[in-house]
């Protein structure tokens, strides 16, 4: 069983036990346009929810990706180093950015479900 939750900064978190996979949403990718570079975190990094986890860069601009939860980075998607375009092609799957071992699962309660996130996006773009 896995669940996916969303942040107001347009990250998604897939939850499998204590391990989370983090990426940026389809909406974020559409807004950013062609992504050309991703700065990944380093395995072993300790992050706190709200810290900068990674950076994604389009032709036009650099944008921070924030850690949705606190914990330790246990894996990063190295495929993005050579092919940032994976983020455009498959933001919710092959374009995942990092896996974080949660230190405080209660933080998930602050995140949104998909329906809530869709509503949030609708309001933000209105």
Query: What does the binding site for another protein look like in residue numbers (CB under 8 A)?
Result: 33-34, 36-37, 39, 55, 57-62, 81
Between CA 57 and CA 54 the distance in angstroms is 10
Considering the complex, what minimum distance in angstroms separates the CB of residue 79 from another protein? 15
Between CA 28 and CA 35 the distance in angstroms is 11
Considering the complex, what minimum distance in angstroms separates the CB of residue 104 from another protein? 26
Q: Which H helix or E strand runs over 124? A: helix 114-125
Nearer to another protein, 1 or 61 (CB): 61
Q: Classify residue 115 by its DSSP letter.
A: H
Considering the complex, what minimum distance in angstroms separates the CB of residue 72 from another protein? 21
């Amino acid at each position: 069983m896995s669940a996916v939750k969303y942040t107001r900064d347009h990250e998604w978190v897939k939850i499998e036990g204590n391990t989370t996979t983090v990426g940026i949403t389809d909406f974020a990718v559409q807004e950013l346009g062609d992504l050309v570079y991703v700065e990944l975190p380093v395995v072993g990094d300790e992050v706190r929810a709200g810290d900068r986890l990674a950076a994604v860069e389009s032709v036009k601009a650099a944008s921070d990706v924030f850690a949705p939860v606190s914990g330790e980075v246990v894996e990063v998607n190295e495929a993005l180093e050579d092919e940032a375009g994976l983020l455009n092609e498959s933001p919710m799957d092959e374009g995942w950015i990092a896996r974080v071992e949660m230190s405080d699962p209660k933080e998930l309660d602050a995140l949104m479900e998909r329906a809530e996130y869709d509503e949030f996006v609708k309001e933000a773009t209105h």
